[in-house]
Structure 1
Amino acid sequence: MAVKIRLARFGAKKRPFYRIVVADSRAPRDGCFIERIGQYNPMLPKDNKNRVVIKADRLKYWLGVGAQATERVLWFIKKGIITLETEPKKAEKKKIETKEVKEQEA
Structure 2
Amino acid sequence: MEENFIRERLTQLRMKKNVSEYKMSLDLGHSKSYIQSIVSGRAMPSMTEFLYICDYLDVTPAEFFNEKIENPALLKNMIEKASEMGDDDLQLLCQLIDRIK
TM-score range relative to shorter protein: under 0.3
Normalized per residue, the structure richer in helix is 2
TM-score by length of 2: 0.25
Normalized per residue, the structure richer in strand is 1
